[in-house]
Amino acid sequence: MTSGAQGEDWGQGCGANCFTLDGDGFTCSQVLDEPEVWRVELLMHDTFLPSVNAFVVRDGAETLVVDAGTPDEFNDTRLMRALVGLGVDPERVTLFCTHAHIDHTGLARELSEAGARVVVGEGVAGDMTRLAAHAWRDEMVARMRAEGVGEAEAVELADVIWDHARDFTREGIPFETLAEGDVLRCGRWAFEVVATPGHTPGQCALWEPRTRTAFLGDAVLFLCSTCIGFWGEGEDPIGEQLATLRRLADRGIEHALMGHGLQEGDVAERCLANAAHHERRSARALAAIRETPGQTGFELVPAMGWRAPFERWGETPALTRWFLVSESIAHLDHLVATGAVRRELDAAGASRYVAL
């Protein structure tokens, strides 16, 4: 930490290469030497996950920040304190957001207004345009209604996730885009943009081959399985996620920097285990369809092995219900895409599932 860059409630040592960001236990700590990477732990809102990561990469006078946390004034203070503590000039910062979700783009405006350059993958920019549009909110409502969700709940669940949508263009945040395979430099280091669709259609990772380091966003986590919600009907996000996990397993990643939590073991093993986890859930859905043909998607949600209080469904937070319903629909889309089941519309326009 830069000498003198501290206050009464922050900047205190909390171990080797670590300093506090406030009195609530949030810290900035070095997690990698080459390249030099610091983890900034920020508060996560509205889910069971306690925190979200922003990473600061330093090399000489250049700084790369990967992901920008959840927006609130306390996180803004924490992130700026981390930069001050590291002696970073925001005007020499490049921010790269791995995907369009609010917990990874939340402080982009604050960084941009402080002088940072903002960069996203082309797919992330496309997701912002698509997922922040009111037409997508209406499409989500219609899709959940077709899967058997009641009208009021379909609106509630669509709104709870759509309210978190970000669109830098609409919000007036200047940004640049990079295509898959493009390189983002920070001093000596060249990070390749790698498409990792699944969690979102356009999610991207950054890959540094010399040190086999990857900034993965939410492509894979050790804390939990990444949520894979439905996209448009006819798309297969579970299939995309399975392909992404297998590609990451084959890449030989040694150092994984993820959106939530830390690396807790071998990355390839975790990727393959997570792929197997998704395949087991799809298998549960298929078994339930074979046992009772003609169920709606909403009727099939409890059969997919979720650890959820279905007996108190109405008391479950809306965002949690969104995760459960949307990923269940994604698994049904995967079964349709792979030819395991057929989706049939009944006389009322509801989708019902039959095994093939």
Whether residue 37 has pLDDT greater than 90: yes
List domains and CATH numbers for the chain: 18-284 (3.60.15.10)
* Average pLDDT in the chain: 94
In this prediction, residue 25 carries a pLDDT of 87
Question: If you average pLDDT over residues 195-203, what whole number do you get?
Answer: 97
In this prediction, residue 81 carries a pLDDT of 94
pLDDT of 152-180, one tens digit each? 999 999 999 998 889 999 999 999 999 99
pTM confidence score: 0.95
Question: If you average pLDDT over residues 212-229, what whole number do you get?
Answer: 95
- Determine the Cα–Cα distance for residues 276 and 12; give it in Å rounded to an integer: 43
Question: If you average pLDDT over residues 233-248, what whole number do you get?
Answer: 96
Strand partners, 93: 63
- Determine the Cα–Cα distance for residues 54 and 50; give it in Å rounded to an integer: 14
State the Cα angle at 119 between 159 and 97, rounded to 5°. 45
pLDDT of 283-325, one tens digit each? 999 999 999 999 999 999 999 999 888 899 989 999 999 999 9
Contact 36, 59 (CB under 8 A): yes
In this prediction, residue 309 carries a pLDDT of 86
Q: Is the peptide bond before 317 cis (omega within 30 degrees of 0)?
A: no
Tokens 């197997």 belong to 276
Whether residue 87 has pLDDT greater than 80: yes
Maximum Cα interatomic distance, the chain, rounded to a whole number of Å: 71
The proportion of the chain whose per-residue pLDDT surpasses 90, expressed as a percent, equals 88
Burial 117-141 (b: 16+ CB within 10 A, else e): bbbbbbbbbbbbebbbeeebbebbb
In this prediction, residue 7 carries a pLDDT of 57
